[in-house]
């Protein structure tokens, strides 16, 4: 069969790209190297029978807020989000915890002396988000609401350690540091405030949901919609060269620079190859999944009302750990991102039992086992946690990359998202999605806006291909 377009890779961006192209009336083939579709959106029994663990992504505020994914009828294919009453909790050594809830007013009040500072920072951004989201989650372009975008940018471009000076209390400063640490880089770096602000905005607009049954549910819904539109899927096909692909007018790769150089390097211009070889990957992650006999016994009761817990104590401790990791060290007390989905989704574990998911940042390519350090951090805020472990499964950076080749050196963001690569990922070009070869595009998290389950990299890459190759307009984004 002859295809108009081929998409290589079925992560959230590859799936989004394939759907955009198929929506335009094209004949599209989606190729996946593994036997299962979804990339980072996969769920499996990693520890014991009956315990379902999210292999990579777990909590999905950006999926629920995505200007493109919101336009798709994914609920028709069984996708159901569960939204805990608390978006995220951040416990401290004194037994208390700072929390973010859907209500901005309630979150501000909980921060005491920092209530006014928090409200002044977040209220305008939360109100403006529907208008600026399509530009924030896009390549560099003229914004539709320049004044609102400028207000967001003035805060987002700041280092998290600088923006946190707005706050006086340990609670507000630690809470923001935990949000900003999702940037996976030192908090003194420019732009580290951006992800923290986006996550807080998402919490106040629709919360931090998790998909019932596991992250695989998102991939399954996207694949079902693609097939319902007439799309074709082929699994178990690891593309190693362009010659292996069927003839098509456009090919979109949900891969990072390291893979596209191996697959198509000989067909790319020397300048473009040089740019891709200079692309920088960031810190990796070490991940642990647990099967548990009972819920994690956090000291702070607020932690029982959320699926997401940030374990790092103060801003100073988190900042020091992230800086040390970026310098090739392994902190004794790493910042840990923890998810406890089974508190709200009983499909994740046998009756009365639970799962938990956690990772910490490690130096790029690290092979050090961080299980003990991560479990010590959980035990620090939840004494008795270890006594509830029935089984565990770990991924180091090499195992993460073997699972998904896009996670080079364990980097789940598809490359460093710092100021040097914020607007030029993966190369400095008029369109970051075009390669130097006509008809060949990149649609992975190595393109703007970067990592996260939002599908916006795929949407923008497919939109570019529709205009360039087929003279068609892409589907509109949700702006409400």
Neighbours of 392 (CB within 10 A): 17
The closest of 335, 62, 308, 366 to 187, measured between CA atoms, is 335
269-327 pLDDT per residue, tens: 999 999 999 999 999 999 999 999 999 999 999 999 999 999 999 999 999 999 999 99
The closest of 297, 294, 403 to 352, measured between CA atoms, is 294
Structural domains of the chain, ranges and CATH numbers in brackets: 5-79+211-279+409-470 (3.50.50.60)
Asked if the model's pLDDT at residue 479 lies above 90, the reply is no
If you search the block for the tokens 């990693």, which residue do you land on? 46
CA distance 276 to 271: 9
pTM over 0.85: yes
Mean pLDDT to the nearest integer, 382-386: 98
43-97 pLDDT per residue, tens: 999 999 999 999 999 999 999 999 999 999 999 999 999 999 999 999 999 999 9
Predicted confidence band of residue 140 (pLDDT cuts 50, 70, 90) = confident
Tokens of 134: 């399509």
* Percentage of the chain modeled with pLDDT above 90: 96
Asked if the model's pLDDT at residue 366 lies above 80, the reply is yes
CA torsion 298-400-318-417 (nearest 10°) is -130
Asked if the model's pLDDT at residue 1 lies above 90, the reply is no
Mean pLDDT to the nearest integer, 96-102: 98
The closest of 99, 110, 57 to 303, measured between CA atoms, is 99
Query: Mean of the per-residue pLDDT values for the chain?
Result: 97
Would you call 225 helix, strand, or coil by DSSP? helix
404-463 pLDDT per residue, tens: 999 999 999 999 999 989 888 999 999 999 999 999 999 999 999 999 999 999 999 999
Structural contact between residues 161 and 188, judged by C-beta atoms closer than 8 angstroms: yes
Terminal-to-terminal C-alpha distance of the chain: 40
């Amino acid at each position: 069969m002859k295809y108009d377009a081929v998409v290589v890779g079925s992560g959230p961006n590859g799936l989004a790209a394939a759907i955009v192209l198929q929506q335009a009336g094209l004949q599209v083939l989606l190729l996946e190297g593994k036997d299962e579709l979804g990339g980072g959106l996969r769920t499996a029994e990693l520890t014991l029978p009956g315990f379902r663990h999210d292999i990579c992504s777990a909590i999905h505020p950006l999926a629920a807020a995505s200007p493109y994914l919101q336009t798709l009828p994914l609920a028709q294919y069984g996708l159901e989000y569960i939204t805990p009453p608390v978006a995220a909790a951040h416990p401290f050594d004194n037994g208390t915890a700072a929390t973010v809830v859907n209500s901005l007013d309630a979150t501000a009040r909980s921060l005491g002396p920092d209530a006014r500072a928090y409200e002044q920072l977040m209220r305008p951004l939360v109100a403006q988000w529907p208008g600026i989201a399509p530009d924030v989650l896009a390549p560099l372009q003229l914004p539709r609401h320049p004044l609102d975008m400028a207000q967001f940018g003035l805060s987002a471009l700041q280092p998290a350690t600088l923006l946190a000076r707005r706050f006086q209390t340990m609670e507000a400063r630690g809470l923001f540091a935990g949000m900003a640490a999702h940037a996976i880089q030192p908090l003194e770096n420019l732009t580290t405030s951006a992800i923290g602000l986006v996550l807080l905005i998402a919490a106040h607009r629709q919360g931090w949901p998790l998909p019932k049954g596991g992250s695989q549910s998102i991939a399954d819904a996207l694949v079902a919609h693609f097939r319902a539109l007439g799309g074709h899927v082929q699994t178990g096909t690891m593309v190693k060269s362009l010659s292996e692909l069927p003839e098509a007018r456009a090919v979109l790769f949900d891969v990072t620079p390291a893979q596209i150089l191996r697959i198509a390097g000989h067909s790319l211009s020397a300048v473009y190859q040089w740019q891709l070889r200079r692309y920088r990957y960031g810190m990796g992650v070490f991940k642990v999944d647990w099967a548990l006999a009972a819920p994690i016994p956090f000291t702070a009761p607020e932690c029982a009302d959320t699926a997401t817990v940030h374990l790092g104590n103060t801003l100073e401790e988190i900042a020091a750990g992230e800086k040390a990791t970026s310098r090739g060290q392994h902190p004794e007390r790493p910042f840990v991102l923890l998810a406890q989905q089974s508190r709200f989704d009983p499909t994740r574990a046998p009756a009365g039992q639970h799962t938990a998911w956690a990772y910490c940042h490690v130096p790029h390519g690290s092979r050090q086992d961080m299980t003990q350090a991560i479990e010590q951090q959980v035990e620090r805020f939840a004494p008795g946690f270890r006594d509830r472990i029935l089984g565990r499964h770990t991924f180091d950076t090499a195992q993460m990359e073997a699972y998904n080749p896009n996670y080079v050196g364990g980097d789940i963001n598809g490359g460093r998202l710092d100021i040097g690569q914020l607007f030029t990922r993966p190369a400095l070009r008029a369109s970051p999605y075009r390669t130097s070869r006509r008809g060949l595009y990149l649609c992975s998290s190595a393109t703007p806006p970067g990592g996260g389950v939002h599908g916006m990299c795929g949407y923008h890459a497919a939109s570019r291909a529709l205009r360039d190759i087929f003279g068609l307009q892409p589907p509109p984004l949700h702006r409400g």
